[in-house]
Amino acid sequence: MDEVTTTNENKNIVDQSLQSEDQDSPDGSIVSPYFEDKEKVVIVNGLYVVYNTGKLNEAIALDGINFDIRSEEYITIFGPSGCGKSTVLNIIAGLEIPSSGNVTVIDQDLASLSSDEIAYFHRNSVGMIFQQYNLIPTLSVLDNVILPLVFEKRNVRERKKLGKEMLRRLGLGDFEKRFPQELSGGQQQRVGIARALITDPPIILADEAVGNLDSQSAKNVLEILDDLNLKSKKTIISVTHNPEHLFYADRVFYMRDGKLVKVEINKEKEREDAPQITKERTEFDILLQSFPDLSPMHLHVMLAPFKAKMLVAYFLSRFESEEIKHLEEIVKNRLLNALDGEQLFSELTKSTEIGGVGMTAPMAKKLMAVIDDVMDRSVMIKDQNESLKQGRNKPMEKLIDRLRHSLLEEFEGELRIDEVKALNRGIEYRLLSKINREEFMEYLDRPFSDGGVGLNRKTAKKLSRKMELIMLMEYGQ
Ligand code: ADP
Ligand code: MG
User: In CATH, what number is assigned to the domain containing residue 46?
Assistant: 3.40.50.300
Q: Is 185 in the pocket of ligand 1 (CB under 6 A)?
A: no
Cβ 84 under 6 angstroms from ligand 1: yes
Q: Residues 370-391: pLDDT tens digits?
A: 888 888 888 888 887 777 777 7
Give pLDDT, residue 293: 60
Measured N-to-C along each axis, helices 321-335 and 361-389 cross at an angle, to the nearest 10 degrees, of: 40
Q: Residue 68 is part of which domain span?
A: 3-125+201-265
Residue 385 Cα to ligand 2 midpoint, Å, equals: 42
HSE value, Cβ hemisphere, 13 Å, CA-based, for 191? 31
- Reported as type and span, the H/E element at residue 236 is strand 235-240
Q: What is the distance in angstroms between the CA of the first residue and the CA of the last residue of the chain?
A: 6
Can you say whether the dihedral through the CA atoms of 262, 263, 265, 271 is positive or negative? Answer: positive
Report if residue 147 sits inside a domain. Answer: no
| Among protein residues, the one whose CA lies closest to atom 15 of ligand 1 | 82
Same domain, 237 and 364: no
Tell me if 83 CB under 6 Å of ligand 1. yes
Q: Which of 49, 87, 207, 254 to mutate to test the pocket of ligand 1 (most atoms within 8 A of CB)?
A: 87
Residue 434 is classified by DSSP as: S
Above 50 in pLDDT, residue 72? yes
Does 208 share its domain with 256? yes
- Please tell me whether residues 384 and 440 are part of one structural domain: yes
- Helix pair 457-474, 397-408: axis angle to 10 deg: 130
Atom of ligand 1 nearest to the CA of 90: 6
Number of H helices, E strands in the chain: 16, 10
Among residues 265, 292, 318, the one where a domain terminates is: 265
Give the amino acid at 464: S
Contact present, 207 and 131 (Cβ < 8 Å): yes
Provide the pLDDT for residue 29.
Answer: 87
Does residue 385 sit in the same domain as residue 458? yes
The answer to whether the CB of 300 is under 6 A from ligand 1 is no
Higher pLDDT, 181 or 329: 181
On whether both 238 and 301 belong to a single domain, the answer is no
- Ligand 1 close to Cβ of residue 310 (< 6 A): no
The domain total for the chain is 2
Among candidate residues 232, 265, 298, the one where a domain is terminated: 265
User: What's the predicted TM-score (pTM) here?
Assistant: 0.60
**Beta strands at 259-265 and 251-256: parallel, antiparallel or unpaired:** antiparallel
Q: How far is the CA of 104 from the centre of ligand 1 (A)?
A: 22
Report which of 38, 118, 101 is spatially closest to residue 67, judged by C-alpha positions: 101
Rounded CA separation 319/313 (Å): 10
pLDDT band at 276 (very low <50, low <70, confident <90, very high): very low
Mean pLDDT over the full length of the chain: 84
Of 461, 477, 254, the C-alpha closest to 381 is 477
Instruction: State in Å: Cα 88 to ligand 1 middle.
Output: 10
Q: Is the pLDDT of residue 171 over 60?
A: yes
Can you spell out the DSSP letters for 198-229? TT--SEEEEESTTTTS-HHHHHHHHHHHHHHH
Residue nearest to atom 7 of ligand 1 (CA): 86
Ligand 1 contact, 221 CB (< 6 A) = no
Distance in angstroms (rounded) separating the CA atoms of residues 37 and 273 = 14
pLDDT at 279 over 50: no
Helix (H) or strand (E) holding 333: helix 321-335
Confidence band of 289 (pLDDT split at 50, 70, 90)? low
Cβ–Cβ < 8 Å for 457, 451 = no
| Whether residues 362 and 431 fall in one domain | yes
| Beta-strand relationship, 251-256 and 100-105 | unpaired
Same domain, 88 and 216: yes
CB environment 60-92: b (16+ within 10 A), e (fewer):
bbbbebbbbbbbbbbbbbbbeeebbbbbbbbbb
In a domain, 242, yes or no: yes
187 phi and psi angles, rounded to 5 deg: -65, -40
Query: Does one domain contain both 408 and 435?
Result: yes
Pocket flag, ligand 1, residue 86 (CB < 6 Å): yes
Answer yes or no: is 120 within a domain. Answer: yes
Other beta carbons less than 10 A from residue 300's beta carbon: 22
Q: What's the pLDDT score for residue 51?
A: 94
Per DSSP (E only), the strands in 241-357 are 251-256, 259-265
Residue ending a domain, choose from 234, 265, 296: 265
Specify whether 376 is located in the same domain as 465.
Answer: yes
Distance CA 295, CA 301 (A): 10
- Answer yes or no: do 413 and 467 share one domain: yes
Q: How far is the CA of 207 from the centre of ligand 1 (A)?
A: 13
259 belongs to a structural domain: yes
For residue 190, is it within any domain? no
Cα 41 to ligand 1 centre (Å): 25
Question: Which residues face 63 on adjacent strands?
Answer: 48
Q: How far is the CA of 292 from the centre of ligand 2 (A)?
A: 35
What is the pLDDT confidence band of residue 8, given thresholds at 50, 70 and 90? very low
Residues 321 and 221 in one domain: no
Within a domain: residue 399?
yes
Backbone angles phi and psi of 406, in degrees to 5: -60, -45
Which range is least confidently modeled, 13-17, 135-139, 141-145? 13-17
- Residue 292 confidence (pLDDT): 56
- What is d(CA 296, CA 225) in angstroms, rounded to the nearest whole number? 21
In a domain, 206, yes or no: yes
DSSP 3-state of 189? helix
pLDDT one-digit tens code per residue, 89-108: 999 999 999 999 999 999 99
93 Cβ below 6 A of ligand 1: no
Q: Are residues 319 and 217 in the same domain?
A: no
Q: Which residues pair with 44 in a beta bridge?
A: 67, 103
Domain assignment present for residue 309? The answer is yes
Q: Which atom of ligand 1 is nearest to the CA of 88?
A: 6
pLDDT in tens, 408-442: 887 778 889 999 999 999 999 888 888 888 889 99
